Amino acid sequence: MKQLTCRYCGKTIQKRDQLITASNWLRVRPYHYVCFSEVEKEASTIYNNWTPVNVAAANITSLIMAVLAGWLLFVDTWGLIGDLIGALAFYRVLIRLFSYFFIEINVPK
């Protein structure tokens, strides 16, 4: 397994309980749970705001967005506008899948 290092303190993340993956626009970064709270305190604007990806609320949001994206992409409800909204809704699902398969799976439970 590949060793993950926290982007804030630089130490290795030993267990999945310590891991918080956060996204900011198209970036997904691993943090310790404690270090992520420090990163949140330092965020001064919405552009510096990191959103946690591997928490329960993000999992529910990803599931809802997957259903919404599937409905808008495969059912011709709103035509081209529906396809564009569906593609934007699918972004959150892709971020969650990337976080799981490329970051979280490398950390032991």
Residue 100 vs residue 46, higher pLDDT:
100
When pLDDT is cut at 50, 70 and 90, the band that residue 40 belongs to is confident
The residue-averaged pLDDT of 57-76 equals 89
Answer yes or no: is pLDDT of 27 > 70: yes
Is 107 exposed, middle or buried, given 0-12, 13-18 or 19+ CB atoms closer than 10 A?
buried
What predicted TM-score, i.e. pTM, was given to this entire model?
A: 0.80
Tokens matching residue 63:
């599931």
Give tens-digit pLDDT for 82-97: 888 888 888 889 999 9
Provide the pLDDT for residue 64.
92
Tokens matching residue 34:
């404690």
Q: Where are the domains of the chain?
A: 16-106
The residue-averaged pLDDT of 44-58 equals 81
